[in-house]
């Protein structure tokens, strides 16, 4: 027979182990459950992270600018790289600075449309970039459900705007060319007989005073015919005689003849050492272009200054020639005529190539010099561009396709 | 009376958490600092009991007073470790009930003439519920794995120790009556679990504090 102490001992030891095992089982169950929860959570988190990463990448790499901002204060909460690029901002703070520079009228218009309709689509907005340039942006936005923040998408349409304005200007110029061309033809028909008749009359008339009158009529008729000639050159871009010509030689000849007529307080700089290529062109017409540009530069410096003419050979590679309607590539000879005068006002800059537009009305300018020059350059498949800021002179650049066996100027 | 080797090991095991706690005190979070305090009291308790036993003085009175301190401080450790208000309330109520029971027992027991099995069992029961509740509450905390959390090691230690020693404490007086050998056999379970619990406390103290 077993002693009662042994039974109790068995109960205590056995029972303790059972209780211990139960506690351990509970702890293990909790640990296992927790591990499973953690695993599920980890998978979910990874899925969320992957999804977030995907959308973040879409957001960051989008070519359209995106941002979220406060509807009232225009405080930007977040933004993508594209929008910072549109405003020329390097980081979030700089973007906020640019946003605060938006025109108050535009901001008010957007704010009120968003408040009324909750959405605004394709609103054209003019913005100032941090580098001082103007940018045109197409602004679409939607008010978020919290009624406070706004999600906006912006597209840079500066280039489109530039092309639109270029097209408008080209259409306007074409219209003027057509009109003036017709008028010029009629005027030529009127002036040519006068010019011929004057020559015949000169032979028949005697007396000094009569000859003087005939001389005056002849000069006026000749001036009229020259003017008509210029208008026709602008309108049609007279073909001329295309020859293989050296640009540097043309420049040297023009400058040589010009130097004599320049005031002493105007210094001429010439840099032609980087110019070797030839162009296919009419020497006389190219000289006329250069002469017109140099004369304009001279007139822009009544108090004296520096007139610089430089030429160089360049390879235009997937870049815009400023002022060209479409991208061009290939070898070009560029002639730059610059002055240190007062520069050209922004408003005038847009109209400078229009025929009869002149800022020298009082001093006998016809307003045809630049338009004729542009007509000539166009007929040479080249480009004439201008850059200027009021107070810091002007630079006129003539791009002529280089002639290296075959003419350049391939459109991209 | 000679103490078995496991008895000495169990005595020494109290030093580990106390030492690690004091060394890492500045780096630890509030629950572990409180546990360090408990471990220091545990060392003091065990040393006093050992010395009293050596000198032949009844030492179970000390463990009776230590018990209320142990429950209160562990309740504090669990309370600080969990964030759910409902769980915290359960702990405070349990601790208050225990302290009340302890006072009633103190008044009614008319001095401590023997091992207070009833209060020992009650304290184990309260601590077991607290530790299991804490473990369950920690299940919902999905920030880090359980093994990286000090509260997991502390509550596991408490749960295993209290579950394993519940019957030993309940029957210790009977076993003492039956003979010293019976008592020692059962008491080895207590020592073994105490050693395990102290090691787990030490591990808990070495965990990185949770934010």
Most confident of A91-95, A150-154, A183-187: A150-154
Q: What is the CATH number of the domain that holds A347?
A: 3.30.565.10
Q: Residue B160's closest CA among B205, B136, B118, B127? A: B127
Mean pLDDT on B79-93: 92
**Cβ-based contacts of A41 with chain B (< 8 Å):** 142
Partners of A28 in the beta sheet? none
Q: Is the pLDDT of residue A328 over 80?
A: no
Q: Which domain holds residue A394?
A: 243-407
Length of chain B, in residues = 211
Q: Could you tell me the CA-to-CA distances from A289 to A285, A383, A384, A401, A412 in Å, in that order?
A: 6, 12, 10, 16, 27
Co-location of A391 and A265 in the same domain: yes
**Cβ-based contacts of B203 with chain A (< 8 Å):** none
CA B13 to chain centroid, in Å, comes to: 13
Most confident of A105-109, A138-142, A235-239: A138-142
**Cβ-based contacts of B145 with chain A (< 8 Å):** 34-35, 38
Co-location of A165 and A152 in the same domain: no
Q: Is A375 exposed, middle or buried (0-12, 13-18, 19+ CB in 10 A)?
A: buried
Mean pLDDT on B128-157: 87
Q: Residue B81's closest CA among B192, B157, B191? A: B157
What does the angle CA A403 – CA A408 – CA A411 come to, to the nearest 5 degrees? 170
Is the distance from CB of B149 to CB of B80 less than 8 angstroms?
no
pLDDT band at A264 (very low <50, low <70, confident <90, very high): confident
The mean-pLDDT minimum among A51-60, A140-149, A320-329, A337-346 falls in A320-329
Task: Please tell me the predicted confidence (pLDDT) of residue A324.
Answer: 60
Q: Is the pLDDT of residue A200 over 50?
A: yes
Mean pLDDT on B137-163: 87
The encoded tokens of residue B54 equal 């050596």
Co-location of A258 and A341 in the same domain: yes
Task: Please tell me the predicted confidence (pLDDT) of residue A120.
Answer: 92
CA distance B10 to chain A (A): 18
Residue B19 phi/psi, 5-degree rounding, is -65, -50
**CB-defined contacts A:B, below 8 A:** 80
Task: Please tell me the predicted confidence (pLDDT) of residue A160.
Answer: 87
Cβ distance of A16 and B167 shorter than 8 Å: yes
Nearest CB partner across the interface for A37, out of B142, B182, B186: B142
CA distance A54 to chain B (A): 24
Co-location of A8 and A93 in the same domain: no
Of A60, A77, A97, the residue at which a domain comes to its end is A60
What would the pLDDT profile of A398-408 be if each residue is shown by its tens digit? 999 988 765 44
Share of chain B above pLDDT 90, in %: 53
How far, in Å, CA of A16 to CA of B165, rounded? 6
Cβ distance of B175 and A5 shorter than 8 Å: yes
Task: Please tell me the predicted confidence (pLDDT) of residue A240.
Answer: 63
Length of chain A, in residues = 412
What would the pLDDT profile of A81-139 be if each residue is shown by its tens digit? 999 998 888 888 888 888 888 888 888 888 888 888 889 999 998 888 888 888 899 99
Nearest CB partner across the interface for B160, out of A23, A33, A35: A23
Strand A266-274 to A305-319 pairing: parallel
Task: Please tell me the predicted confidence (pLDDT) of residue A260.
Answer: 77
Strand A149-156 to A65-70 pairing: antiparallel
Of A206, A236, A266, the residue at which a domain comes to its end is A236
Mean pLDDT on A52-80: 90
DSSP letter for each residue of B87-111: HHHHHHHHHHHHHHHHHHHHHHTTS
Mean pLDDT on B145-162: 90
Task: Please tell me the predicted confidence (pLDDT) of residue B1.
Answer: 58
**Cβ-based contacts of B139 with chain A (< 8 Å):** 30, 33-34, 37
Co-location of A402 and A324 in the same domain: yes
Does residue A213 lie in a domain region?
A: yes
CA distance B144 to chain A (A): 8
CA distance B166 to chain A (A): 7
A357, containing H or E segment: none
Q: What is the CATH number of the domain that holds A120?
A: 3.30.450.20
Task: Please tell me the predicted confidence (pLDDT) of residue B40.
Answer: 95
Task: Please tell me the predicted confidence (pLDDT) of residue A203.
Answer: 81
Mean pLDDT of all residues belonging to chain B? 88
Co-location of A351 and A293 in the same domain: yes
Does residue A412 lie in a domain region?
A: no
How far, in Å, CA of B181 to CA of B168, rounded? 14
Of A102, A132, A156, the residue at which a domain comes to its end is A156
Q: Is the pLDDT of residue A286 over 70?
A: yes
Co-location of A166 and A259 in the same domain: no
Mean pLDDT of all residues belonging to chain A? 83
CA distance A117 to chain B (A): 43
Q: Residue A232's closest CA among A297, A269, A184? A: A184
Does residue A120 lie in a domain region?
A: yes
DSSP letter for each residue of B98-155: HHHHHHHHHHHTTS--S--HHHHHHHHHHHHHHHHHHHHHHHT--SS-GGG-HHHHHH
pLDDT band at A411 (very low <50, low <70, confident <90, very high): very low
Mean pLDDT on B8-27: 93
* B32/A361: higher pLDDT: B32
Co-location of A397 and A250 in the same domain: yes
Partners of A156 in the beta sheet? A137
Co-location of A209 and A295 in the same domain: no
Task: Please tell me the predicted confidence (pLDDT) of residue B113.
Answer: 61
pLDDT band at A409 (very low <50, low <70, confident <90, very high): very low
CA distance A27 to chain B (A): 7
Predicted TM-score (pTM) above 0.90: no
Mean pLDDT on B110-117: 65
A13 touches chain B (CB under 8 A): yes
How far, in Å, CA of A10 to CA of B180, rounded? 16
Interface of A with B in 19-48 (CB under 8 A): 19-20, 22-24, 26-27, 30-31, 33-35, 37-38, 41
Task: Please tell me the predicted confidence (pLDDT) of residue A410.
Answer: 42
Cβ distance of A27 and B186 shorter than 8 Å: no
**Cβ-based contacts of A27 with chain B (< 8 Å):** 135, 156, 159-160
Q: Is the pLDDT of residue A151 over 60?
A: yes
pLDDT band at A239 (very low <50, low <70, confident <90, very high): low
Co-location of A19 and A75 in the same domain: no
Number of domains observed in the structure of chain A: 4
Q: Is the pLDDT of residue A365 over 70?
A: no
SS3 content of chain B, % helix, strand, coil (to 5): 80, 0, 20
Q: Is the pLDDT of residue A378 over 90?
A: no
Mean pLDDT on A156-180: 80
Expressed in angstroms, the distance from the first to the final Cα of chain B is 49
Chain A residue with CA closest to B182: the answer is A9
3-state secondary structure at position A275: coil
């Amino acid at each position: 027979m077993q002693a009662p102490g042994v039974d109790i001992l068995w109960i205590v030891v056995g029972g303790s182990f059972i209780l211990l095992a139960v506690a351990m089982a509970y702890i293990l169950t909790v640990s296992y459950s927790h591990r499973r929860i953690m695993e599920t959570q980890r998978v979910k988190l990874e899925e969320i992270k992957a999804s977030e990463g995907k959308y973040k990448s879409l957001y960051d790499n989008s070519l359209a600018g995106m941002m979220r901002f406060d509807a009232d204060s225009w405080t930007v909460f977040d933004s993508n790289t594209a929008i910072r690029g549109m405003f020329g901002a390097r980081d979030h703070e700089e973007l906020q600075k640019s946003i605060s520079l938006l025109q108050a009228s535009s901001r008010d218009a957007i704010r009120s449309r968003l408040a009324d309709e909750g959405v605004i689509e394709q609103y054209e907005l003019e913005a100032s970039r941090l580098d001082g340039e103007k940018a045109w942006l197409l602004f679409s936005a939607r008010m978020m459900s919290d009624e406070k923040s706004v999600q906006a998408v912006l597209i840079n349409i500066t280039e489109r705007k530039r092309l639109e304005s270029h097209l408008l200007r080209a259409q306007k110029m074409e219209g003027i060319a057509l009109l003036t061309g017709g008028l010029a033809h009629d005027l030529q028909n009127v002036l040519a007989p006068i010019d011929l008749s004057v020559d015949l009359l000169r032979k028949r008339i005697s007396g000094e005073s009569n000859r003087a009158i005939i001389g005056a009529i002849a000069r006026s008729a000749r001036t009229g015919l020259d003017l008509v000639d210029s208008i026709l050159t602008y309108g049609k871009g007279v073909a001329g005689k295309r020859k293989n010509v050296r640009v540097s030689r043309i420049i040297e000849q023009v400058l040589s003849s010009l130097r004599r007529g320049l005031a002493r307080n105007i210094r001429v700089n010439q840099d032609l050492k980087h110019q070797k290529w030839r162009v296919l062109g009419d020497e006389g017409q190219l000289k006329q272009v250069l002469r017109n540009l140099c004369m304009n530069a001279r007139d822009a410096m009544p108090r004296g200054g520096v007139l610089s003419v430089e030429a160089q050979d360049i390879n235009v590679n997937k870049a815009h020639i400023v002022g060209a309607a479409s991208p061009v590539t290939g070898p070009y000879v560029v002639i730059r005529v610059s002055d240190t005068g007062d520069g050209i006002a922004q408003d005038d800059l847009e109209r400078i190539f229009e025929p009869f537009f002149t800022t020298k009305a009082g001093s006998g300018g016809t307003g045809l010099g630049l338009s004729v020059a542009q007509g000539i350059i166009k007929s040479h498949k080249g480009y004439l561009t201008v850059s200027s800021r009021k107070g810091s002179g002007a630079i006129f650049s003539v791009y002529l396709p280089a002639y290296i066996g075959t003419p350049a100027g391939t459109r991209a | 009376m000679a103490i078995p080797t496991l008895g000495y090991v169990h005595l020494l095991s109290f030093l580990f958490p106390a030492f690690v706690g004091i060394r890492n005190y500045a780096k630890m979070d509030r629950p572990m600092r409180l546990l360090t305090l408990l471990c220091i009291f545990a060392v003091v308790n065990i040393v006093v009991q050992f010395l009293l036993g050596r000198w032949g003085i009844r030492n179970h009175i000390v463990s009776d007073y230590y018990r209320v301190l142990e429950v209160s401080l562990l309740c504090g450790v669990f309370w600080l470790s969990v964030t759910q208000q409902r769980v915290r309330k359960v702990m405070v109520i349990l601790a208050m009930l225990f302290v009340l029971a302890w006072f009633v027992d103190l008044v009614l027991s008319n001095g401590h003439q023997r091992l207070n099995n009833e209060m020992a069992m009650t304290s184990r029961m309260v601590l077991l519920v607290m530790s299991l509740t804490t473990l369950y509450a920690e299940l919902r905390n999905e920030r880090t794995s359980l093994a990286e959390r000090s509260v997991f090691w502390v509550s596991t230690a408490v749960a295993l120790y209290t579950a394993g020693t519940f019957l030993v404490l309940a029957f210790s007086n009977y076993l003492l009556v039956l003979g010293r050998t019976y008592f020692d056999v059962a008491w080895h379970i207590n020592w073994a679990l105490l050693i395990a619990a102290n090691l787990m406390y030490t591990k808990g103290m070495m965990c990185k504090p949770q934010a």
